[in-house]
Amino acid sequence: MLALAFDDVNMGVALRSVPTNESCRLNKDGRAAAGHASHVVNREVTMIVEAGAPFTQAAINFPDRVALRDGRGRSLTYDQLRKRANRIGSGLAKLGIADGDRVAVLSYNCLEVVELWLALERFNMVRVVLHSHFDMKTHVDTLNAVGAKALIFDCNFADAVEVQRGSMVSIKSFVCIGAEAPKWATPYESVLGKGDTTDPHLDIDDSAACFLQLTSGTTGAPKPWVHSHRSWRAVIANNLEHLDTFSPNGMAVGFQDVSLHFHALQWATGFQTLMPYLLRGSSTIVADDRTFDANALADTILKEGVTGMLVPGPMLPPILDALEARDVTGHKLKRVVIFFATPDLLERTSKVLGKVWCHGFGSTEQGAPTTRLTWSDVEASPKRIESVGRAASPFFEMAVMNEKGERLPAGSIGEIVVRSAMSAGSYWGLPDKTDQSYFAGGWFRPNDIGYIDGEGFLFYLDRAKDRITTEKGVVYPHIVETAVLRHAAVANCGVVGIGGSARQSVVAAVLLRQGSTRSSKLASDIIAIASTGLSDHERPHRVVFVDELPTVLGGAKVQREVLKQRIDELAAVPG
C-alpha cells in the first residue's frame, strides 16, 4: 500500500509514493526507518524538502551583502559563501563522500566551519560535531561509533590527529584546514578547487539525519544526538521567533544587525544564533576561540557595532569588567543571550549594558533555547529573576511530571519534560537510551528537576543525578552554586556531595578571581554569604580552593562527577 507525500513545487503540490510504514524514527545510520517506538508517531505522509534551502534563498535575497567576517581581515558576501559551500560540498563528493555519509568537523572558529556547515547540509552529508575541548581519544571513539567516512580538521589539531589516525578505522579521507596540511591529508583549498559552484538542489526526506550533535560530556561520555533536517529547521524557526520577540516593541533581526561568535561555533552559539542572522541578511563575525581575551572582545563589540551574541555565564564577568573600563554609552548591543547565569550576574548586565539580555535554557537534545527569561519579564515582576523564564516560542511545550509520566500541578517539584519538533530525535546507536528518554506522548526527558509556577515560569533546580542527599534533606547543587557565586572573590565554583549516599556533606570547590588570596577567613566569608537565603541543610559544610575546575566548553559547565573524584582523592591523601 502507498501513501501520498507532499512537496511545495511552484506553489503547487507534488505527489510521491512512499511506504506507509515509514516513520520519523531514525535508524542507527541516521536515515528514516521502518517501524515505530512508543514516543514516535507513525507518519503516512512524509515531507520532501530541499536540503539547505533556507540559506539558498538567503543568498539569492542578499547576494552582495557581507555575510561573514573574521579577525584576520577576511570576509565573504552571501553569494561568495554560497559558491564556496557548493565548491567544498561537490569537492567532497569527488573524494568519494556520498549522500548520507558522516563527515566529522574538528576545528576552532573560522570561516571554513561555516562553509562546511552549509555545504554538508546542502549535499546531505551528515556533519559530526567534534567539540574542540574534548580529548582526541573521545573523538576517536565518536568517529568509530558513527562510522564517519571523512575527518576535516583544523591544522592546529594535525599532530594530535596523526597520533590517533591509525585508530580511526572508518575514516577514508583526511582533509586539513589551513596552510600547513600534513602529507597524509588533503588540503581544504585543494578539495574546494576541484568542486564547482552549482547549487545541488537535492530533495530529501526531512526525517533524514542532518547532523550529529554531541552532548557536552558533563554526565559521562558524550553521546551523539541525531538532529534531522526537520528538527534542525524547527530549531531555526524557534530561534527566529525568540530573537524577533526579544524585546517589547523591538525590531526583528535584519540588515542592521551584527552577530558575534567568540565561543565554540559548533556548540550553542552557532546552534542557536548562526542561521537566524544569516537568513535575515545580517553580518556575522567569527572570532577565534583558541584563547579567551575579554579586552579584545570588548574592543570588537564596540568597534564593530555588535548587536547580538551568545555568552556562557562564567565568561561574562570579565567581558563586563572590560566593557566597564571603556565608554559603553554608544554600544549597539540589543540581544545578549546568556546561559548558566545567576540573578546577580543578570542584574549586573542590566547595570553595565542596559535592557539587552535574556537568560536562556535548553540542551543538545531538547533544542535551545527552550525557555528564556527576558529583562522585561523581570521588570514586570522582580521575583522572576530566579527562574529561567517561559517558553521561548509558541512552538515549544513543557511540563513537570512525576516518575510515572503524570503531569504535576503548578508549583510541584518534579521532572522537567519538553515536547516540540526540536526534540524529535534519537541517540545514535543507543536505542535503549533513546526509549528511556521519552515518556508516552512524545515528551522528552532531559533529566532535569524543577517546577513551573502559576504564570508558566520554569524554575530550574538541577540535574536529577546530581542531587545531594544529606541527613536533613535533598540539596540541589545549582542552588548552592548560585549562592556561592554571590561572593565577589569567586570566579566560578562547583558543588558536590561527599560521603555516604544518605549522609552526604555539601562541599563547594571554589576558583578565585585574579587578585584574591586563599585563606580560612575567606572560606568562612564565602560560606556566610552563600548561607543567606539557603536552608540549614543546603549551606556548604566547607569550601575547597582549587587552581582549576574540571569544566567543558570554556568553563560553561562544571563536570561534577570528575570534581567529586578529585575532592575524594584529596581527602584520601595523608596530611
Q: What is the mean pLDDT of residues 384-397?
A: 96
Q: What is the pLDDT of residue 16?
A: 31
**Hey, CA dihedral for 252, 255, 258, 264, is it positive or negative?**
positive
Q: Residue 254 contacts by C-beta under 8 Å, 6 or more apart in sequence?
A: 280, 281, 282
Among candidate residues 558, 528, 557, the one with its CA nearest the CA of residue 543: 528
> Average of pLDDT values for 431-455?
96
Same topology, domains 292-463 and 467-572? Answer is no
Confidence label for 92 from pLDDT (cuts 50, 70 and 90): very high
Q: What is the 3-state secondary structure (H, E, C) of 454-475?
A: CCCCEEEEEEHHHCEEECCEEE
Q: Are the C-beta atoms of 108 and 289 separated by less than 8 Å?
A: yes
Is residue 21 over pLDDT 70? no
Strand partners, 89: none
Which residues is 283 bridged to in the sheet?
A: 258
Q: Domain locations in the chain?
A: 1-46, 292-463, 467-572
HSE-up of 242 (CA within 13 Å, CB side)? 35
Element (H, E) at 14: strand 12-19
Instruction: Give the CATH number of domain 467-572.
Output: 3.30.300.30
Whether the Cβ atoms of residue 350 and residue 341 lie closer than 8 Å to each other: no
Q: What are phi and psi of 132, to 5 degrees?
A: -65, -15
Residue 105 has a pLDDT of 98
CATH superfamily entry for domain 292-463 = ANL, N-terminal domain (3.40.50.12780)
Residue 27 has pLDDT above 90, yes or no: no
Cell numbers for 41, please give them.
508517531
What crossing angle do the helices spanning 111-122 and 270-279 adopt, rounded to 10°?
Answer: 80
Prediction pTM value: 0.86
Whether residue 306 contacts residue 285, with contact meaning beta carbons closer than 8 Å, is answered with yes
Q: Tell me the per-residue pLDDT of 202-228, one tens digit each, with 9 for 90 and over.
A: 999 999 999 999 987 666 688 999 999
CA within 13 Å, CB half, 552: 21
Which pLDDT tens digit goes with each residue over 363-388?
889 989 999 999 999 999 999 999 99
Return the closest-CA partner of residue 46 out of 24, 75, 14. 24
Identify the pLDDT of residue 503.
Answer: 87
pLDDT at 60 over 60: yes
3-state secondary structure of 132: coil
